[in-house]
C-alpha cells in the first residue's frame, strides 16, 4: 500500500475513533484470514499436564501454529527440547515463535540473552522456530531511560546472534513501556535505539490499547516493524478487562486491513490474564470469531 493511501485510511479511522469512541469505524479489510496462531501461555494451566492432548485439541479447533514460552536450560515447558519437538511435530501445530526473558534476574539459568544465548538460539533452531521474542522486562530492569538504552543494546546483540543462525528477534510490549520517564516514552527508545532491520516488535493489541495508544498511528510511524501480533479483545466495561476476540471493543476486521503495512507474518491469539474460565475454550471462542473475518 502506498503511504498516501495509508494516510487517507488512517484519517478516516481517526475520525471514526473521535466520533464513536470505538477503536475503529470504517472497514477496509477485503481478504480472509487463512492461518491461525495462538500463544501457548493461554493454556498454561493444562498444557504441562497433557501437551499432546492440548495441542491436538487446538489443532482440531483450527489453529495452525503457535508461540511457546517457558524456554531455557535446554528445555521447553519443562521438557527436554528433543522430546518436546516430537510431541509438537506429531500434533501438526507449527512452532513459529518462542518467548524468552533477558535473564538479568535469573543469572544462574542458561540459554538466556545474558547467559549462553547461543544455546537458546541453537535449541530454538532445532525446534523449527523462526522468532525468539523477549516477552517482558522485569521491574528492576526498566526503572530508568539508561536501562532502556542498555536493554536496546542487548536486543541488538541478541538479534545479531539470531540472524547468524537463521532466526529473527523481536520484543513484546505491555503497557508500562508507554509510561513516560523523565518526559520520554520508553517504547520510543526501544524503537529508535534498536536496529530496525534486526529487532522487530511483537505488537500486543490489547496492551497497546490499555496504554491508550492508537495501533494505526503506531503502524504508520513504523511501517514493516510489526511482523508479530498478540490478539485479544478489551471489555467494553470500565475495567477494560481482557476478553475473547469478538467479545470486546476492538474492530478486528478493520485492524487486519493493515496487516501488510505492519509487515504482519504471524498473529497469536492469547489470554494472559487469570479471568479465562477455560483456557482451551477461550481459544476456541476467539478462533470462531476470527474465522468470520
pLDDT for residue 54: 98
CATH number, domain with residue 186:
3.20.20.150
pLDDT for residue 222: 97
pLDDT for residue 225: 98
pLDDT for residue 273: 80
pLDDT for residue 111: 94
Ranges in the chain, pLDDT < 70? 1-30, 274-277
pLDDT for residue 278: 76
Range of the domain at 240: 3-290
Q: C-alpha angle with apex 8: 209 to 252, nearest 5 degrees?
A: 35
The reported pTM is: 0.90
pLDDT for residue 24: 38
pLDDT for residue 20: 32
Domain count, the chain: 1
pLDDT for residue 130: 98
Amino acid at each position: 500500500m502506498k503511504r498516501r493511501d495509508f494516510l487517507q485510511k488512517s484519517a478516516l479511522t481517526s475520525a471514526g475513533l473521535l466520533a464513536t469512541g470505538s477503536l475503529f469505524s470504517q472497514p477496509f479489510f477485503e481478504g480472509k484470514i487463512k492461518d491461525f496462531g495462538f500463544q501457548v501461555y493461554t493454556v498454561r494451566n493444562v498444557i504441562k499436564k497433557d501437551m499432546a492432548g492440548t495441542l491436538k485439541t487446538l489443532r482440531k479447533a483450527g489453529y495452525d501454529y503457535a508461540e511457546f514460552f517457558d524456554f531455557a536450560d535446554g528445555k521447553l515447558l519443562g521438557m527436554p527440547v528433543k522430546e518436546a519437538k516430537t510431541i509438537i511435530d506429531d500434533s501438526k501445530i507449527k512452532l513459529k515463535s518462542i518467548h524468552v526473558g533477558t535473564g538479568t534476574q535469573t543469572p544462574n539459568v542458561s540459554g538466556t540473552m545474558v547467559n549462553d544465548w547461543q544455546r537458546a538460539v541453537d535449541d530454538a533452531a532445532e525446534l523449527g522456530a523462526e522468532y525468539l521474542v523477549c516477552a517482558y522486562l522485569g521491574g528492576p530492569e526498566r526503572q530508568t531511560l539508561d536501562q532502556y538504552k542498555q536493554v536496546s543494546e542487548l536486543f541488538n546483540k541478541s538479534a545479531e546472534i539470531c540472524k547468524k543462525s537463521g532466526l529473527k528477534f523481536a520484543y513484546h510490549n505491555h503497557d508500562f513501556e508507554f509510561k513516560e520517564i523523565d518526559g520520554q516514552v520508553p517504547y520510543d527508545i526501544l524503537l529508535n535505539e534498536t536496529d530496525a532491520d534486526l529487532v522487530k516488535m511483537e505488537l500486543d493489541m490489547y496492551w497497546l490499547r490499555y496504554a491508550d495508544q492508537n495501533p494505526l498511528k503506531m503502524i504508520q510511524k513504523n511501517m514493516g516493524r510489526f511482523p508479530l501480533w498478540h490478539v485479544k479483545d478489551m471489555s467494553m466495561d470500565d475495567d477494560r478487562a481482557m476478553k475473547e476476540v469478538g467479545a470486546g471493543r476492538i474492530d478486528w476486521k478493520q485492524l487486519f486491513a493493515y496487516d501488510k503495512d505492519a509487515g504482519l507474518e504471524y498473529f497469536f491469539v492469547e489470554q494472559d490474564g487469570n479471568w479465562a474460565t477455560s483456557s482451551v475454550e477461550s481459544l476456541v471462542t476467539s478462533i470462531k470469531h476470527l474465522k468470520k473475518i
